């Protein structure tokens, strides 16, 4: 993964990568090459099907562009401070030589000026602030990666995993708080949450492979167990040391909780997740659809399962900032549920999940900002509204199919 | 034909789930071009034996070779097409089209790369071969049982498998589609594909298969179909479920 070696021209690289990776959904096989005959047999219908496909593709491309733009923003936000320039004179020369030195800062300012104009036209007071853009950028990226990973999770009937890993991540936040309070270290709580969540993911994986109970029992144990540990740690920490962190922000999500570091983490995670899904789309599809046949075809099912669950942990931690521990799983599940209602193929499910996810994020943000309400709840409520519309629509197309 | 490596070579395999023995010292060989019917009463270890053959389970003792290679080292997954008993479960809820399902047969060939036009063409040809080209864009969960099993066969064909392993593929499929399905298997077998079929309906197996393996934890019969029909293996295997019978061939 690039994105860490962001010294020179990193903005370009990261953005391009995100872009190609997002389009990576298109990677294999253009289904429309051989669309021709329509399922329902009626030729009259073949036009709307093509149009629907085109609209979906344009939508996904737009989401990809938006996400790439947000990654660029986050990268500019980072570069304009010339990271590590003080420590390394070489980097400093590099920044000057490549023109990043003034350019990143100038571009970032332009971004905020454009935001101010947007505020002017919308009559809002939102888009001129960098911290709002960080939240929005993080949200947009959540809207891409959460449904992407969620599509596989939901159809593997592992929807509860997201919730579990969020609780584990919360335990991670608690551990991070204590660690910081005890050592005076000022590292990011999210990094600790990420590590703990990944360990939790591997533990869930290990448990489900080794216990004979039905798959979701160890998951449920893990879910309440890690939350129990988190509450104990936090109460104990509050009693014995002075910890001043917005626990509610982590629980319910908040627009103001996203730091520059948190947004950066989300950008890196998103690029990685999108690239990995683009690369392993086929394998993940096969093990999701027919795990035993995938084993017989000598796919390393255990490795792909581990990959999927670790990606989930990663996405959950990134998404926790905006959505909160309690609501984060909704973003993995609800857009996918809506998409599965009306999609006609797995690829379409993936596309629609991302589109619905993004619509939930943007709609939720609009609602939250305009009403001064928490972002997490707003996003989930919008997602559920989309889901209900999808259910209503699928009822109609369902009869159409059965008529045929 | 005697020099050709067997497709599957099972030697003295035993397997137990905890304390209950599922396979006891089973040895059998599947030769290239065989149509092997694997029969036995419920809970007799048929599926376990098939899983051991395919490397889904590793035996407690004994050895298994696939295409001349120890099964644990066997990597050429595309050579095996597998239709599991449970294959229909997930297809029931997940929106996957027939074409998407059949293309999975090409996944073992391309790894992390992209499917090429050739891959797509081979998948489409497989759809035509099993006669479901016209429903390629339908979802798997909208198909009848018989159509769905054909889609799985097409996936195996797309994979260009030499060995087709099927675990009770026609459960819940109506009689007419079942006959058609077995005619298809027969045709595939004649085109050179080795078939291992688990089937509870003995009549169907003896009609189609040229070899029969009858097991109930132990192997009661392994040989051509005619000798099986004449032998006592069937009544022995079915009649004495659970009892230890010393019967050697």
Q: At what angle do helices A375-403 and A130-155 cross, to 10 degrees?
A: 40
Residues 6+ apart with CB under 8 A from A297: A286, B77, B78, B80, B82, B107, B108, B159
Q: Which stretches does DSSP call E strand in chain B? A: 8-17, 20-30, 35-39, 61-66, 69-70, 80-83, 163-167, 194-198, 211-216, 218-224
Among A residues 109-168, those touching chain B with beta carbons less than 8 Å apart = 155
3-state secondary structure of B121: helix
Q: B105: nearest CA in chain A?
A: A297
Please check whether residue A364 lies inside any domain of the structure. Answer: yes
State yes or no: pLDDT of B39 exceeds 80: yes
Chain B touched by A283 (CB under 8 Å): yes
Number of domains in chain B: 1
- Predicted confidence at residue B86, as pLDDT, reads 61
Residues 6+ apart with CB under 8 A from B124: A34, B99, B133, B136
With residue B164 as reference, give the H or E element that holds it. strand B163-167
Please check whether residue A404 lies inside any domain of the structure. Answer: no
CA atoms A264, A269, A274, A278: torsion sign: positive
Please check whether residue B141 lies inside any domain of the structure. Answer: no
Domain range holding B72? 8-90+162-238
- Predicted confidence at residue A46, as pLDDT, reads 57
Q: Which stretches does DSSP call E strand in A178-308? A: none
Distance CA B92, CA B84 (A): 14
Which tokens go with A235? 């109460």
Does the beta-carbon distance from B142 to A296 stay under 8 Å?
A: no
Please check whether residue A22 lies inside any domain of the structure. Answer: no
Does the beta-carbon distance from A37 to B115 stay under 8 Å?
A: no
State yes or no: pLDDT of A25 exceeds 60: no
Domain range holding A292? 55-392
State yes or no: pLDDT of A277 exceeds 90: yes
Does the beta-carbon distance from A292 to B56 stay under 8 Å?
A: yes
Which tokens go with B111? 């790894």
- Between the CA of residue B75 and those of A287, A297, A392, B249, what are the distances in Å? 17, 8, 47, 33
Does the beta-carbon distance from B137 to A38 stay under 8 Å?
A: yes
Chain B CB contacts of A285 below 8 Å: 96, 100, 104
CB-based burial of residue B228 (10 Å sphere; 0-12 exposed, 13-18 middle, 19+ buried)? buried
pTM, rounded to two decimals: 0.83
State yes or no: pLDDT of A115 exceeds 70: yes
Q: Please, what is the end-to-end C-alpha distance for chain B in angstroms?
A: 23
Among A20, A288, A293, A337, the residue to mutate for chain B (most B Cβ within 10 A): A293
Beta bridge partner(s), residue B197: B37, B166
What digits encode the pLDDT tens for the residues A316-357?
999 988 888 888 889 999 999 999 999 989 999 999 999 999
Distance CA A341, CA A158 (A): 18
Distance CA B102, CA B127 (A): 7
Does the beta-carbon distance from B94 to A27 stay under 8 Å?
A: no
Q: ∠A351-A355-A361 over CA atoms, to 5°?
A: 145
Distance from CA of B201 to the nearest CA of A (A): 24
Chain A CB contacts of B77 below 8 Å: 296-299
Q: In this prediction, what percent of chain A has a pLDDT beyond 90?
A: 35
Give residue B200's Cα distance to chain centre.
13
What digits encode the pLDDT tens for the residues B87-107?
555 555 788 999 999 999 998
- Predicted confidence at residue A60, as pLDDT, reads 93
- Predicted confidence at residue A212, as pLDDT, reads 59
Which residue is associated with the tokens 């080795």?
B194
Average pLDDT for residues B184-193, to the nearest whole number? 90
Distance CA B122, CA B118 (A): 6
Residues 6+ apart with CB under 8 A from A32: A50, A53
Average pLDDT for residues A366-382, to the nearest whole number? 89
Please check whether residue A156 lies inside any domain of the structure. Answer: yes
Whether complex ipTM tops 0.90: no
Does the beta-carbon distance from A298 to B56 stay under 8 Å?
A: no
Which tokens go with B198? 């688990």
At A187, give phi and psi (nearest 5°).
Answer: -70, 170
Average pLDDT for residues A256-261, to the nearest whole number? 81
Number of domains in chain A: 1
Distance CA A21, CA A188 (A): 27
Which residue is associated with the tokens 């590292």?
A187
The CA-based dihedral angle spanning residues B192, B193, B194, B200, taken in that order and rounded to the nearest 10 degrees: -120
Q: Are B35 and B185 in contact (CB under 8 A)?
A: yes
Chain B CB contacts of A34 below 8 Å: 120, 124
- Between the CA of residue A346 and those of A178, A179, A341, B143, what are the distances in Å? 44, 44, 11, 16
Chain B touched by A307 (CB under 8 Å): no
Sheet containing B194-198: order of strands: B80-83, B163-167, B194-198, B35-39, B211-216, B218-224
Does the beta-carbon distance from B76 to A293 stay under 8 Å?
A: no
The CA-based dihedral angle spanning residues A88, A93, A98, A101, taken in that order and rounded to the nearest 10 degrees: 80
- Predicted confidence at residue A19, as pLDDT, reads 41
User: What is the DSSP secondary structure assignment for residue B97, as one 8-state letter?
Assistant: B
Distance CA A372, CA A28 (A): 43
Which tokens go with A100? 């990043």
Average pLDDT for residues A129-135, to the nearest whole number? 88
Nearest CA-CA partner of A319 in A137, A48, A98: A137
- β-pair type (B211-216, B35-39): parallel
State yes or no: pLDDT of A382 exceeds 60: yes
Does the beta-carbon distance from B82 to A292 stay under 8 Å?
A: yes
State yes or no: pLDDT of B21 exceeds 80: yes
Chain B CB contacts of A289 below 8 Å: 90-91, 94, 96, 101, 104
Q: Give the mean pLDDT of chain A.
A: 81
Residue A219's pLDDT band (boundaries 50, 70, 90)? confident
Average pLDDT for residues A222-242, to the nearest whole number? 83
Chain B CB contacts of A282 below 8 Å: 104, 107, 110, 112, 115
- Predicted confidence at residue A206, as pLDDT, reads 84
Average pLDDT for residues A103-130, to the nearest whole number? 86
Which residue is associated with the tokens 């629509």?
A393
State yes or no: pLDDT of A114 exceeds 70: yes
Please check whether residue A29 lies inside any domain of the structure. Answer: no
- Between the CA of residue A34 and those of A24, A38, A39, A303, B124, what are the distances in Å? 20, 10, 12, 33, 10
Higher pLDDT, A266 or A27: A266
Distance CA B152, CA A294 (A): 12
| DSSP structure string for A58-75 | HHHHHHHHHHHHHHHHHH
State yes or no: pLDDT of A22 exceeds 70: no
- Predicted confidence at residue A362, as pLDDT, reads 94
- Between the CA of residue A282 and those of A122, A191, B111, B113, B155, what are the distances in Å? 43, 30, 8, 9, 14
Chain B CB contacts of A33 below 8 Å: 120
Does the beta-carbon distance from A349 to B74 stay under 8 Å?
A: no
What digits encode the pLDDT tens for the residues A159-204?
888 889 999 999 998 888 888 877 777 777 888 889 999 998 898 8
Higher pLDDT, A327 or B229: A327
Does the beta-carbon distance from A282 to B142 stay under 8 Å?
A: no
Please check whether residue A192 lies inside any domain of the structure. Answer: yes
Q: Are B233 and B214 in contact (CB under 8 A)?
A: yes
Residue A30's pLDDT band (boundaries 50, 70, 90)? very low
Chain B CB contacts of A215 below 8 Å: none
Which residue is associated with the tokens 């891959």?
B119
- Predicted confidence at residue A146, as pLDDT, reads 95
Please check whether residue A16 lies inside any domain of the structure. Answer: no
Higher pLDDT, A13 or A81: A81
Please check whether residue A170 lies inside any domain of the structure. Answer: yes
Nearest CA-CA partner of A395 in A341, A350, A343: A341
Between A224-228, A243-247, A387-391, the lowest mean confidence (pLDDT) is in A243-247
Chain B CB contacts of A292 below 8 Å: 56, 82, 84, 86-87
């Amino acid at each position: 993964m690039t994105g860490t070696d962001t010294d020179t021209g990193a903005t370009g690289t990261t953005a391009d990568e995100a872009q190609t990776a997002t389009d990576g959904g298109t990677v294999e096989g253009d289904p429309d090459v051989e669309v021709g005959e329509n399922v329902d047999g009626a030729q009259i219908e073949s036009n709307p099907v093509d149009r629907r496909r085109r609209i979906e593709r344009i939508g996904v491309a737009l989401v990809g562009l938006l996400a790439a733009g947000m990654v660029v923003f986050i990268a500019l936000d980072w570069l304009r401070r010339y990271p590590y320039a003080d420590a390394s004179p070489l980097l400093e020369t590099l920044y000057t030589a490549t023109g990043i030195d003034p350019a990143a800062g100038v571009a970032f300012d332009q971004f905020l000026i454009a935001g101010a104009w947007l505020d002017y036209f919308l009559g809002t007071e939102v888009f001129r602030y960098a911290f709002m853009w960080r939240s929005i950028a993080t949200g947009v990226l959540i809207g891409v990666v959460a449904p992407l990973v969620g599509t596989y999770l939901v159809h593997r009937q592992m929807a509860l995993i997201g919730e579990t890993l969020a609780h584990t991540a919360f335990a991670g936040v608690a551990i991070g708080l204590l660690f910081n309070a005890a050592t005076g270290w000022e590292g990011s709580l999210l990094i600790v949450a990420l590590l703990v969540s990944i360990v939790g993911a591997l533990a869930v994986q290990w448990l489900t492979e080794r216990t004979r109970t039905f798959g979701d029992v160890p998951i449920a144990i893990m879910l309440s167990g890690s939350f129990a540990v988190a509450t104990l740690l936090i109460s104990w920490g509050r009693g014995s040391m002075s910890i001043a962190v917005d626990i509610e922000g982590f629980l319910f999500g908040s627009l103001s909780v996203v730091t520059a570091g948190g947004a950066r983490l989300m950008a890196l995670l998103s690029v990685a997740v999108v690239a990995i899904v683009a690369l392993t789309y086929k394998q993940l599809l096969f093990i999701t659809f027919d795990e035993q046949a995938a084993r017989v075809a000598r796919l390393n099912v255990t490795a792909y399962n581990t990959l999927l669950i670790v990606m989930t942990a990663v996405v959950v931690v990134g998404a926790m900032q905006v959505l909160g521990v309690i609501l984060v799983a909704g973003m993995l599940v609800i857009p996918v549920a809506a998409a599965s209602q009306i999609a006609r193929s797995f690829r379409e499910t993936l596309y629609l999940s991302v589109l619905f996810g993004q619509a939930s994020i943007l709609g939720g943000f609009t609602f939250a900002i305009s009403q001064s309400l928490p972002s997490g709840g707003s996003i989930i409520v919008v997602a559920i509204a989309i889901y209900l519309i999808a259910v209503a629509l699928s009822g109609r197309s369902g009869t159409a199919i059965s008529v045929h | 034909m005697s020099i050709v490596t067997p497709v599957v070579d099972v030697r003295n395999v035993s397997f137990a789930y905890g304390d209950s023995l599922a396979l006891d010292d089973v040895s059998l060989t599947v030769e290239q071009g065989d149509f092997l019917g694997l029969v036995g009463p419920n809970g007799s270890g048929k599926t376990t034996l098939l899983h051991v053959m395919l490397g889904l389970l590793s035996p407690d003792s004994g050895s298994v070779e696939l295409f001349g290679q120890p099964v644990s080292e066997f990597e050429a997954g595309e050579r095996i097409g597998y239709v599991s008993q449970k294959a229909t479960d997930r297809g029931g809820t997940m929106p996957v089209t027939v074409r998407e399902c059949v293309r999975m047969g090409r996944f073992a060939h391309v790894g992390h790369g992209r499917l090429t036009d050739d891959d797509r063409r081979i998948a489409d040809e497989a759809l035509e071969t099993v006669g479901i080209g016209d429903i390629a864009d339908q979802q798997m969960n909208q198909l009848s049982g018989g159509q769905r099993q054909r889609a799985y066969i097409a996936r195996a064909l797309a994979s260009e498998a030499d060995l087709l392993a099927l675990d009770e593929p026609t459960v819940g499929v109506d009689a007419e589609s079942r006959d058609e399905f077995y005619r298809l298997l027969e045709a595939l077998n004649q085109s050179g594909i080795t078939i291992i079929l688990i089937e509870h309906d003995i009549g169907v197996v003896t009609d189609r298969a040229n070899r029969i393996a009858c097991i109930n934890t132990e192997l009661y019969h392994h040989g051509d179909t005619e000798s099986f029909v004449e032998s006592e293996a069937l009544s022995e295997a079915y009649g004495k479920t659970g009892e230890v019978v010393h019967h050697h061939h």
